Amino acid sequence: MTLEAEGSGRQTTVRLKVADDGVGFGPAHRGSPDGHLGLRLMADRVAALGGRLEMGDRPGGGARIAVHLPVDHEV
- Tens digit of each residue's pLDDT (9 = 90 or more) over 23-46: 887 765 555 555 557 888 989 999
| DSSP 3-state of 70 | strand
**The pLDDT value given to residue 5:** 66
Q: Which fold has domain 2-70?
A: Heat Shock Protein 90 (3.30.565)
Statement: the pTM of the whole predicted model exceeds 0.75: no
| DSSP for residue 7 | -
CA angle 32, 55, 12 (to 5 degrees): 130
Closest to 26 measured CA to CA, from 1, 50, 62: 62
Domain boundaries, the chain: 2-70
3, 17 contact by CB (below 8 A): yes
